[in-house]
Amino acid sequence: MPNSSVKWLWVTTWLFAATAFAWAEDAVPGKTEYLSSCAACHGEDGKGNGVLASVLKVPPPDLSTLSRRNDGHFPLAAVTEIIDGRTLIAAHGTREMPIWGFDVKVRNRIPPIIDYLTHIQVQ
């Protein structure tokens, strides 16, 4: 009887690991962070249609066309500076208290978001 239990435990563990691996392969880095930090304004698809977009004085830009609007190149430096507060965007907060702050742990969340934005670019 213990052999049977060990066998089923092994099979269950293997199936769980295979499923987790498949999910990890499908996941786009930074998507979860983007959805929790940016999608309310910029929309789940980055097209500027988030649930808060209608209450903003200035509509959020379509983030899926950043490369198209930059001659086919993703504007990495400009996007980084906007997110981290070096380039002032009124909706992101002031330089004294940008939405991302200056904490190292907070700043480590920015590169995965930028990586995700590169994945949603349309030509």
Tokens matching residue 109: 């969340």
What is the predicted pLDDT for the residue at 29? 74
What is the predicted pLDDT for the residue at 16? 52
Residues 6+ away with beta carbon under 8 Å from 120: 45, 46, 63, 64
Predicted confidence (pLDDT) per residue in 29-79, tens digit: 799 999 998 999 999 999 999 999 999 989 999 999 999 999 999 999 999
pLDDT band per the 50, 70, 90 thresholds, residue 25: very low
HSE toward the beta carbon, residue 72, CA cutoff 13 A: 0
Give CA separation, 74 vs 52, 54, 57, 89, in Å.
25, 27, 26, 19
- Whether the Cβ atoms of residue 92 and residue 82 lie closer than 8 Å to each other: yes
pTM: 0.72
Query: What is the rounded distance in angstroms from the CA atom of residue 34 to the CA atom of residue 20?
Result: 21
For range 98-110, the mean pLDDT: 70
